[in-house]
Structure 1
Amino acid sequence: MAPSPRLLTFLTFTLTLTLLTQAQQTQTPLPHPFTPQTCPTPFDDDSPASQAAHLPWTSPPYCLTPRSIGSAQKFCLYTAAAYNLGAGLSVLTTPDAAASLAAAVADTLPAWHARDHLASGGRLSKEQEGRVKYKVVRMEGKGMGVVATRRIDKFETIMVSLPAVVVDNEFLPAEEDEAPAEGGKFWRRVQGVGDWERVERLARSREGVNVVEDVVRTNAFGVRVEGREGKGLYPEIARLNHACDPNAFPRFTRSDLAMRAVATRDILPGEEITISYIPLGMPTPHRLRSLSNWGFNCTCALCTSPPAARDASDTRRHRLVEVYYAMQEPGVSYEELVELTREFVQTVEVERLDTKIGEYYQAFMRIYYNAGDAESALKYARLGLKYSEAFADPEGGFCSGLRADLKFLEAQMVGGK
């Protein structure tokens, strides 16, 4: 089972967070015949067939407008049978969004570099298991799971997965009762594309729902394509089980559409590799409500700790919100700000919320700059970028914004000397 979209902010526990380390390869695949254009032309069922000659899609798009959910937007199903070394990809989105994905879908290099991680028929071969630092095993009471076979260092990329299905959120909203009645026409065309066995083996959680829709809803990750929110089904990373205090974090990169599991702390051989299916940093009552969507009781170390330990953790997490507000109070003195910052960072370390620290440091950068301490602002900008590049898309908007802030601050420091 895998998580739904993780869009979490610190104050509402809903902002996207979504160090790349890839093994050097000694060979490269043959080039793909598709040469991406600078500005791809949107292509749908009304476009001339000749336009498809320069696109990576291997079947004509099937399009409709889902009036049953009040949409005026045309959605099309695009299929790329050659994607991911023949494992295949189905994309259910708008023509504009599909056009923006054309170059990434046509690029054969991501699958080539990640080939040791990509399961055939839902299983890694013995040779693959010998080259990676994990294996997929049956976990008591959890179904399948993933355990480390060797030491994995913090910030290390553990696993790489490429999507089998990508669905626009407007077509497939979060609430099941909002699903378009026309959906069945799409799902029947998705089922069986490429290496369908790697999808078919994933967990399901609903009765009376099309198997593809069920698998997507149960296992999808949040992705953002051409400014549109969507769900991406990544079968390999979907094998990672949930923990409220996980040792890994899923990171989406738009440039290659890959999802990578990145270690948030050192992981020892034999230790289960876990991610969180819900936003990190939630106190116990919030976690229980969020996890109810998956229909299981969490038995992770945090949730099964003694009541006193859970209460202490919840108190610290509530305190983080209080400190964050206090740091931005108009009347706070510089000395108080420094002390609040120290308390905040120490609490984050105790609660092991490293994946969110980049966002926190970005806030500290702004707070200290407004307080007239450009040197501390620069320090937090650099720290924020380091952690954000580890746990978020390095080329995404958040990291790009931090780089611009860092450049500005560095120029300010040079100009002030």
Structure 2
Amino acid sequence: MAISTSRRLCSWGADDGSLILQSNDERCPLASDWSPWSHQPVCLEAQAAEDHDSESVSADCVFTLATFRGNQGISVITTPDLAISLAEYFDDSRVSPGLRGQLARTGQNREDEKAAYELRDLPGRGKGVVAKRGFAERETIMVGFPVLVIRLDFINGDHYPERQKRSMMNTSDGSRVNHNCRPNSFWRYVNSNMAMEVVALRDIRAGEEIAQSCKG
């Protein structure tokens, strides 16, 4: 239940863990800058915690880092405390430069001639992903990073139409990897660097379509 309050927790890294946002202000007043964020966080109406009294409030804020993973960028909608706990995952040194250079929308390196794969129209299958070079078994073919992270209980997915749900779960180029009963790749999520990867299940030749198991 939304409550009216003159105090909202809306901060990043304050000494006491919080800064006070007045009820007539919609933005989070941070000390001198918004490090590590690239934009000033914007906060929503504070919500009463279900297992606490009415004085206990949790304000959700939008935290944005435009330089995340090679300037792909990311926004996080969560409470300040949870945002602080996520900070280490935004360190680009966790990810190799080659993987960091893959774009969210194209999934390819910034220079097309260095792209490891391409999207093609395939007979009878619509669009698909085709290797432009060979991949060794267990080699990472493509990687995708999130552009939006939302606290699970912030939204109720049941309220969204099916088309919007599919859009929210879309993994750009990864969604173009077709299914096959004889797959040559598999998915994995790497929690330490927030990456969704497509990995070679076996050696893949240049010109081969990249496909995953039809059993998921």
Give the TM-score band, short-chain normalised.
Answer: 0.5 to 0.7
Could you tell me the percent identity over the aligned residues?
32
TM-score (norm 2): 0.65
User: Which of the two has greater helix per residue?
Assistant: 1
2:158 corresponds to which residue?
A: 176
1:260 corresponds to which residue?
A: 197
CA contact (8 A) 2:63 2:76 kept: yes
1:307-333 CA distance string (max 9 Å, x none): xxxxxxxxxxxxxxxxxxxxxxxxxxx
1:269 corresponds to which residue?
A: 206
2:78 corresponds to which residue?
A: 93
1:149 corresponds to which residue?
A: 132
Q: Is 2:118 the partner of 1:135?
A: yes
Letter of the 2:152 counterpart: N
TM-score (norm 1): 0.37
Equivalent position to 2:92, from 107, 111, 115: 107
2:25 corresponds to which residue?
A: none
CA contact (8 A) 2:127 2:176 kept: yes
Q: How does 1:110-259 map to 2 (within 5 A)?
A: 110=95, 112-118=97-103, 122=106, 124=108, 127-128=111-112, 130-173=113-156, 175-177=157-159, 206=163, 209=164, 214-217=166-169, 219=170, 234-243=171-180, 246-259=183-196
CA distance in 2, matches of 1:113, 1:66: 42
CA distance in 2, matches of 1:60, 1:172: 19
CA distance in 2, matches of 1:244, 1:66: 48
1:290-321 CA distance string (max 9 Å, x none): xxxxxxxxxxxxxxxxxxxxxxxxxxxxxxxx
Q: How does 1:322-333 map to 2 (within 5 A)?
A: none
CA distance in 1, matches of 2:187, 2:47: 31
SS at match of 1:159: strand
CA distance in 1, matches of 2:20, 2:196: 27
Letter of the 1:56 counterpart: W
CA contact (8 A) 1:88 1:164 kept: yes
Quickly say closer, same or farther: Cα 1:118–1:75, change in 2 above 3 A. same
Quickly say closer, same or farther: Cα 1:43–1:277, change in 2 above 3 A. farther
CA distance in 1, matches of 2:115, 2:85: 32
CA contact (8 A) 2:37 2:63 kept: no
Larger-Rg structure: 1
CA distance in 1, matches of 2:21, 2:93: 26
CA distance in 2, matches of 1:42, 1:272: 51
2:36 corresponds to which residue?
A: 55
Q: Which runs of 5+ in 1 are unaligned?
A: 1-36, 180-203, 220-233, 281-417
Letter of the 2:168 counterpart: V
CA distance in 1, matches of 2:186, 2:21: 38
SS at match of 1:114: helix
Superposition RMSD in Å: 3.9
Shift of 1:142: 4.5
CA distance in 1, matches of 2:191, 2:19: 20
CA contact (8 A) 1:44 1:61 kept: no
Quickly say closer, same or farther: Cα 1:73–1:157, change in 2 above 3 A. same
